[in-house]
Each structure stands twice: as structure tokens, then as C-alpha cells.
Amino acid sequence: MYLASEAWPDLEEYFETESLAVVPLGSTEQHGPALPEATDHLIAEGFAREATERADVLCTPTINVGVSPHHRQFHGTMWVDAPVFRDYVESFSRNLTYHGIDRLIYVNAHGGNTEHLREVGRRLHDDDTAYAIEWMWNDSIPEVVDELFEQPGPHGGPKETSMIQFLDSELVHDDRLEAARDGGYPDVFEDSYLRNGARTFYDAVENTPNGVLGDQTDASAEKGERLFEAATDQLVELIEWMRGLDDEELLAAPHV
């Protein structure tokens, strides 16, 4: 059930009988010369909408702009500062708890959001408001990613390219995939920044001239479909697990 498509009287029964909502989050930022700036939030919304349809739970509108200042040098990248993002997501979440939601899954497709979503979840957990967890699609199926790609790339690589080729192929500039690979950093990501165990970069442009990593020519819509189906199965299982938790299991443990 997509919240924004419903009239308010038709949501009453859901809030009376269910207490779980799924919140898709991503970013609007550069993804190299071949992918749209909407890549992350399109992927997040795709998973959230499909999984909530299968599980018959509530999906909220997507939060499209995230913590992306590390892509700021590339045209069109949008971001909000981390404290603003955390406060916004917390307020958004508390809004849902006002309607009776006490368990939330943040379906996240942007690595820059991860630590901040964990912090929001802690805030909600510490005052017994809600149990909120972050889910990242590729973290749910690492073996499938490893099987399909030699160098998946953490940003704008073949795994994200495959996902957009599957979800909305018209947004992918297939004629630029070779240029994306050759103008980016196609090798092991860690090799681009690790120096004696230290992380040496702050902005993406410092280790990838065109903003992407991995071999984009290794992507296909068929691989994207396999990734989508495998990760959606994982998300549905997570929804059902959280749905089955007792109310007491949502609360912070008492002091020992």
C-alpha cells in the first residue's frame, strides 16, 4: 500500500491493524556519465514499492535527497548536511508514530545515509518511540553480487548500472558505459584511497575523475533483474520478521 495514493479514510483500517511502515531513502547525486542522478532513490523506491506490495504493508513517499557533499564537485549533485538529514528523518519517523507506527524499515540505497539512519534509529529506540532499522539492498545479497561482478564498484558501478537498466533502461546512456569505465576507477576501490591503513579521501573526485567506480560494461538488465528479485526476497523476509516481533522486543533493554 503506497501511502500517498490513498485517501485518508482508506488508511484508517491499516493503522488500526498494522504498526509497520517502510521508508525508501536515497540521494540525488552524480552517478557518472552513464547513469541518472536519481539512481539511488529510484533503486530504493523500486525495492520498497515491490516488497510492500508483496507483503501488504505501508510504503511512504521516498526521501530523495540525502547526505552527498562528497559528490559536490559534479554538476547537479544535491545534498543536505548530516545534522539536517538526521533531524528530518527523525521528524518524519515521529510523524508516522503519531499514527500508530512503532516499527520502521529504512530502505536505503545510498551509502552516505547509512550511519545517519543508524543514529536516528538509536534516538527512536532509546526513548521507546519505535524500533527502526536500516536496510541496504546489496548488503542483503553479497554472494549474488560477488557471483555476478568481478568489480561491482561501490558507486555507479555495474551493480547499480544493472539495477537501472532493469528498472528504467531509458535513463541509462549505454553508449557511454566504456567511457564511464575508462574515465573512472575500475579496479579495487580500496586501492584508490588506503594509505598505511588510513582513509585518505574526502570527496569522490579525489579517486575517480568522472565520479564512478567499477566496470560499467559488465552490467545488464538481466543481472539487474536477478539482483532485484534476490534482494526483494530478503526485504520481504525482513518485513515479516519485524512484523512478528512482540511489542516488548521493540523496547530498549533496562539498565542491568
Question: What pLDDT, on a 0 to 100 scale, did the predictor assign at position 127?
Answer: 93
- Mean pLDDT value of segment 151-155: 89
pLDDT digits (tens, 9 = 90+) for 91-132: 999 999 999 999 999 999 999 999 999 999 999 999 999 999
DSSP structure string for 219-240: --HHHHHHHHHHHHHHHHHHHH
Phi/psi-derived region of residue 128, left when phi > 0, alpha when psi is between -120 and 50, beta in every other case: left
**pLDDT for residue 230:** 98
Residue 95: other Cβ atoms inside 10 A: 11
At residue 67, the pLDDT reads 98
Please, which pLDDT band fits residue 165 given cuts at 50, 70 and 90? very high
Q: Is the pLDDT of residue 199 over 90?
A: no
The model's pLDDT over 35-44, given as tens digits with 9 standing for 90+, comes to 999 999 999 9
22: three-class secondary structure by DSSP:
strand
Domains for the chain: give ranges and CATH numbers: 3-250 (3.40.50.10310)
Cell of 58: 505501508
Distance CA 241, CA 124 (A): 19
Q: What confidence score (pLDDT) does residue 191 get?
A: 79
Q: Quick check: 135 pLDDT over 90?
A: yes
Q: Is the pLDDT assigned to residue 187 strictly greater than 90? A: no
- Report the predicted TM-score, pTM, of the whole model to 2 decimal places: 0.95
Q: What is the pLDDT of residues 212-248, one digit of tens each?
A: 999 999 999 999 999 999 999 999 999 999 999 998 8
pLDDT, position 249: 87
Q: What does the pLDDT read at residue 193?
A: 80
Q: How far apart are CA 137 and CA 184, in angstroms?
A: 23
Task: Give me the percent of the chain exceeding a pLDDT of 70.
Answer: 100
Cell 520498497 identifies what position?
48
